[in-house]
Structure 1
Amino acid sequence: MELFAALERDDYEELLFCQDKASGLKAIIAIHDTTLGPALGGTRMWTYASEEEAIIDALRLAKGMTYKNAVSGLNLGGGKTVIIGDPKKDKNEAMFRAFGRYIQGLNGRYITAEDVGTTEEDMNIIYEETDYVTGTSPSYGSSGNPSPATAYGVYQGMKAAAKAAFGTDSLEGRTVAVQGVGNVAFSLCKHLYEEGAQLIVTDINKEAVRRTVETYGAKAVDPADIISVDCDIYAPCALGATINDDSLPLIKAKVIAGAANNQLKEPRHGDALHGLGIVYAPDYVINAGGVINIADELNGYNKERAYKQVAKIYDSITRVLEISRTSGLPSYAAADHLAQERISMLKNSRSTFLRDGHHTLSRRQLRG
């Protein structure tokens, strides 16, 4: 892998490799863009098949966070960490404390949070070494587990997408196929159940499926069958790339709206959805509830204020789909356009400001 070529392709700012032999830490921090503010993005722990696969995932996720934060109106840039290892057996306190020291060394350029394979308890350990971590326990004045906020945002975005497809945002009587019923999707199912939606679910974790079936009266299907079931809305809530060459001919849903990151295997699959007339709620717009919620911690967390912002995902999805409708752009491209426009506007404004002989002060200096 030609690293600098990969960084130049999407204009990444920084890629860091962090290791601690004693604890087994092997982490990669990718910082994509800090135009809008410090990079905020979670820490994922996963059993990657290779180091190159881990690097590619970190880079892809970091760019996604830049766009997610920009479209959400947050004054934050995009970054992401991946830790190579099995989250079920390789974790230890020393690992996360060592990782916390690496974050501290970045002096605020990157702020982390939990992600796939990491937990609130892991963030508490990181907090022992750095202030640049969110999603710690509420006892620390934090918001805790971001999954409920993410789920609430997906629910709001799904309603907006349903309105674009069906003319009403009511989900009562709609059949929703949920792929993956982890923490976020289980909370999402609660909102859908309470509104009267019919649920079809799947997961490789049979216990998670059993819990959802018993709690919300869902129908369970095999993981291989979820993409092709008769439904109104398909909600991918596991790992990414479920919209691909193999799945596209099988999709019966009129709406795709879920919590997973990187749902399109390639951009051309978003083009294909657009051509088929399927309403696609871009992943990084609809699943931004968690990051909106934890970003509120930077101002002293207030749950009511945070959830009011999360609810605006309905408006964000509506805006993206309206741009798509009027411009003819696929919805993923419309979302990218919004993010790029905001970042470019600030970059140009900053360049003009400095060129004209003005100077900026850091936030620390302004507080100071």
Structure 2
Amino acid sequence: MDITELPVEGYERVARCRDEATGLHAIIAVHDTTLGPALGGMRMLPYASEDEALFDVKRLSKGMTYKSAVAQTGLGGGKSVIIGEPAELKSPALFQAMGRFVDSFGGKYITAEDMNIGIADLEEVAKSTKHVTGLSRASGGSGNPSPYTARGVVMGMRAVLEEAFGSDSFDGRSILIQGVGAVGGTMATMLKERGARIIVCDLNEKRARDLATEHGFEVVPDKGHHALEVDVYAPCARGAGVNDQTIGELRCKAIAGCANNVLLEERHGDELKKMGILYAPDYVINAGGIINVSIEVGPGGYDEPKALERIDRIYDNLKEVFAISREEGISTHEAADRLAERRLEQARAKA
């Protein structure tokens, strides 16, 4: 196993791992541990290049620092990515090697589930390191974080509806969910139960059709979905969906989903403000999963009622973000960053 340091300004540690025996090619980025060890999920994708993977892991890692700061988890921000096609490369040996890579950070980085990584994969990682969260209930963990992420987004949407429409009622509100996997699909059913009109789409058209048939949702093609006129657009797949090509075509009143890094660039948050589209910063509204697994590493171990109570505070965090945005005349994206930075500075001042 070959571990190479990758100096990146503004990050505490970034390293690459290559392991010929298992085919592992991975990067771990620890952004900031001011508030505690860096907790962040592991994802596996067939990135076109290592540079693309590094770009992704850096953005995600910094986002985790801010997410944990706003959610007050008592943890810092980090992330890991494995480069490769999951269907071709996944193996127990690969994830055990990944566990050794995680362990090389000496507890500064704690991993969890993310895109294309399941509990079974993390169980293999845990054979080589104790710095893993989100394991099965049988293993003493909190299990799949997806329902908790979905719950947090729904709680956050209440604040979005109040800000955009003056009421937190979901009755009759049109919500477009793009990406109906573990989190997006759960959100869709939860929102329908609250009276919302649900429209779904997915790159996997069959998955969207099957879910729509089962629950009575409307379904639209994934291509061009962002241009649909709806009350709330909920991106729940990969990030960067709000970019120069799509932003001018948006016809929603608000954006609130579980995807990470919804904005390709920070300036797109400013443009949304000018357009009168309310944006719920992704790392604030989608923090439910990380809040849930953070309880595992806290005093006394996992406690679901405690986790749910903290997840429901996402509503309050978004209300605070929206208040900062109004009072300071800045975009909600910048307001969220300011809230996170204030909490980080408060912690540094006490150190």
TM superposition score category, shorter chain reference:
over 0.9
Distance 1:278 1:265 in 2: 16
The question of whether the paired residues in 2 share the 8 Å contact of 1:12 and 1:32 is answered with yes
Distance 2:161 2:252 in 1: 11
Partner of 1:297: 296
Partner of 1:185: 184
Distance 1:315 1:118 in 2: 30
Give, in angstroms, the shift of residue 313 of structure 1: 0.4
Give, in angstroms, the shift of residue 210 of structure 1: 2.1
Distance 2:323 2:214 in 1: 36
Partner of 1:33: 32
Partner of 1:158: 157
Q: Give unmatched runs, 5+ long, in structure 1.
A: 351-368
1:247 counterpart = 2:233: no
The question of whether the paired residues in 2 share the 8 Å contact of 1:176 and 1:233 is answered with yes
Give, in angstroms, the shift of residue 215 of structure 1: 2.5
Distance 1:198 1:256 in 2: 16
Distance 1:141 1:303 in 2: 12
Give, in angstroms, the shift of residue 303 of structure 1: 1.2
The alignment's TM-score, normalised by the length of structure 1, stands at: 0.92
Distance 1:215 1:76 in 2: 39
**Matched residue of 1:258: which SS?**
coil
Give, in angstroms, the shift of residue 17 of structure 1: 0.9
Q: Give unmatched runs, 5+ long, in structure 2.
A: 1-5
Partner of 1:219: 218
The question of whether the paired residues in 2 share the 8 Å contact of 1:163 and 1:169 is answered with yes
Distance 1:70 1:99 in 2: 27
Q: Which has the larger radius of gyration?
A: 1
Q: How many residues align structurally?
A: 344
Distance 2:61 2:290 in 1: 13
Distance 2:58 2:243 in 1: 20
The question of whether the paired residues in 2 share the 8 Å contact of 1:201 and 1:226 is answered with no
Name the Cα RMSD after superposition: 1.0
Residues 330-366 of structure 1: CA deviation (Å, up to 9, x unaligned): 000000001111112222332xxxxxxxxxxxxxxxx
Distance 1:65 1:238 in 2: 17
Give, in angstroms, the shift of residue 154 of structure 1: 0.5
Give, in angstroms, the shift of residue 89 of structure 1: 2.1
Structure 2 residue identity aligned to 1:319: E
Distance 2:105 2:229 in 1: 49
Give, in angstroms, the shift of residue 211 of structure 1: 2.7
Give, in angstroms, the shift of residue 225 of structure 1: 2.6
The question of whether the paired residues in 2 share the 8 Å contact of 1:179 and 1:203 is answered with yes
**Matched residue of 1:249: which SS?**
helix
Give, in angstroms, the shift of residue 236 of structure 1: 0.5
Residues 102-126 of structure 1: CA deviation (Å, up to 9, x unaligned): 2122221100001001111111111
Distance 2:164 2:73 in 1: 28
Distance 1:78 1:68 in 2: 8
**Where do residues 187-336 of structure 1 align in structure 2 (5 Å cutoff)?**
187-299=186-298, 300-336=301-337
Residues 145-178 of structure 1: CA deviation (Å, up to 9, x unaligned): 1000000000111111011000000111000011
Partner of 2:3: none
Moved over 2 A (4+): none
**Matched residue of 1:67: which SS?**
helix
Distance 1:287 1:211 in 2: 25
The question of whether the paired residues in 1 share the 8 Å contact of 2:205 and 2:221 is answered with no
Residues 3-55 of structure 1: CA deviation (Å, up to 9, x unaligned): 64xx22xx101011112111100110000001100000010100000111111
Distance 1:252 1:216 in 2: 25
Give, in angstroms, the shift of residue 248 of structure 1: 1.5
Distance 1:296 1:240 in 2: 26
Distance 1:222 1:86 in 2: 25
**Matched residue of 2:88: which SS?**
coil
